Amino acid sequence: MSTEYDKKQWQDQILVKDTEAEKLKAKLEKARKRSARKAKSKLSRLHKDLSDLGEISDFEDEFGESVLDRLDKFGSAFYNSEKGNLSEALSFAQKRVLSAMNKKVKNLKNPKPDTDEIISGCKSTKKKYSSFSTSKTKAGSKKPYKPNVRDLYEDMPTEVSKPSETYIPEYSPTSNKPFLRIVSNTD
At 38-52, the pLDDT tens digits run 889 999 999 889 889
Q: What is the pLDDT of residue 32?
A: 81
Is a pLDDT exceeding 50 seen at residue 183? yes
Gap between the Cα atoms of 97 and 17, Å rounded? 39
CA–CA distances in Å: residue 27 to residues 32, 89, 117, 153: 9, 14, 52, 71
In this structure, what DSSP letter does residue 110 have? Answer: S
Beta-ladder partners of 118 = 127
Torsion angles phi and psi, residue 142, rounded to 5 = -70, 150
Q: What is the pLDDT of residue 134?
A: 59
- Note the pLDDT tens digit of each residue in 65-115: 888 888 888 777 776 666 766 677 888 888 899 999 999 999 988 887 655
DSSP H helical segments within the chain, as ranges? 2-53, 58-74, 92-109
Q: Provide the whole-model pTM.
A: 0.49
Is a pLDDT exceeding 80 seen at residue 139? no
